[in-house]
Amino acid sequence: MKRPTMADIAREAGVSKGAVSYALNGRAGVSDETRRRILAIADQLGFRANSAARALAGAQAKVVGLALPRPPATLGVEPFFMELISGLEAELSTRSYALLLQTVPDETGEIGLYRRWWSESRVDGVLVCDLRVHDQRVTILRELGLPAVVIGPPSSAGGLASIWSDDQISMTEAVEYLVALGHRRIARVGGIPRLAHTAIRTRAFGEACERLGITEATTVSTDYTGENGAQVTRALLCRQARPTALVYDNDIMAIAGLGVAHELGLRVPADLSIVAWDDSPLCRLVGPPLTALSRDISAHGVQAARMLLSAMEGSPVEDVHDEPAHLSPRGSTAPPPQGSRP
C-alpha cells in the first residue's frame, strides 16, 4: 500500500504542490473554488501529511515530550502520573499532538534526554515534573530555547511557565482539621525530600503545627513507594508515644499505612487517623475510606497541556495557580483515643 503524497493530489487536481500546501493549511493563495477541489481530492485519497516531512520543512513536529523521572518499577503503582497523562492526552489529542514518553533514571539522564530531543527536533515542547529545589533542568531548557511548562511550584521554575496548586494551603487545612479533632501527636510520612513540593509541604506542616502548638510533629522521608510507606508507618507506630494521626504524601503510602495499622491491631479511625494526599479512586475503595486531600489531577494535566501549546505558539504564558487540593473527610479520621488526649 502506497501513501498518497501532496504530489499525487497536485497531479490529480492539476495544480502545483505549493497550491496544495496552501489549500490544506488554510492559507491565502488559492481561490475558494480550487481549495474546495483540493480538499475533496485529499479527503478522497485519505491524504495525511507526512509528519517527518512537515517537521523537516520547519513546521512543527506535533509532538510534546514528557520525561518520567521515576524508576520504572515505582511508576506502576503511582496513580498520579497515569492520571496526569490521561489529562494531557485528552487535550493534546484534540489538537492532534502526540505525547512522547520516556522514563529517565535521574536528573542527569533527563537533561540528556532534553538535549537529545532538542537536537533531534523530536519534540516541540516538554513538560517537566518533579521539580527539585534548585533544578538544573530549567536552566538547560531555557538555554536550549525549548518551550516548556513546569508542573510544580513557580518558586523553583526559574522563569519557565508553571502550573501548580498551593500545597501549603492544603497541608495547613489538613493539620488544622486534625488538630480540631483533638490530635496532638501528628506525624507525616513525606515524599522524596529533594523535590520542591515536598519541601513546601514539609515547611507548611512544620509551621502549621508550631502555630497550633503541636510540639510533637515529625516528618519522615520516603521514596513514595508503598513498601517504604509501610516500613516508616510501622516504625512510627511502634514508638513510645505513638502518633494518633498520620498524614501521608501520597495515597499509595496511606493505603499501605492502613494495612500496617490493621496488622498492628490498631483500629482506624478509633486508634489512629489517616490522611492521604491525592485522592485516586483507591482511597474510596479501601475500608475505611480514606480522608484525603483531593484534587483533579487529570484537569491539571489538561491545563498544563493547554499552557504548553500556547507557549509553543509563542504567546506569553502566565503561571497558572490551580485550585489547591482540598480535604475530603471520610472514614479514616476521627478524634484521637481518650487516653492520648492531654
Q: Which of residues 42-71 bind a copy of itself (CB under 8 A)?
A: 46-56, 61, 63, 68
Distance CA 1, CA 269 (A): 64
By a kind-dependent CB cut-off of 5 to 8 A, residue 19 interacts, out of a copy of itself, DNA, none, with DNA
Size of the site for a copy of itself (CB under 8 A): 72
Using CB under 8 A as the binding rule, whether residue 234 contacts a copy of itself is answered as no
By a kind-dependent CB cut-off of 5 to 8 A, residue 230 interacts, out of DNA, a copy of itself, none, with a copy of itself
* Binders of a copy of itself in range 68-127 (CB under 8 A): 68, 72-73, 75-79, 81-83, 85-87, 89-90, 93, 98-103, 115-116, 118-122
**Rg for the chain, CA atoms, rounded:** 25
| In the complex, minimum distance from the CB of residue 193 to DNA, in angstroms, rounded to a whole number | 41
By a kind-dependent CB cut-off of 5 to 8 A, residue 159 interacts, out of DNA, a copy of itself, none, with none
Choice between 175 and 260, CB closer to a copy of itself: 260
Using CB under 8 A as the binding rule, whether residue 230 contacts a copy of itself is answered as yes
* Look-up of cell digits 486508634: 271
Residue ranges binding DNA (CB under 7 A): 3, 5-7, 14-22, 24-25, 27-31, 33-35, 47-50, 53-54, 56-59
Distance CA 147, CA 156 (A): 17
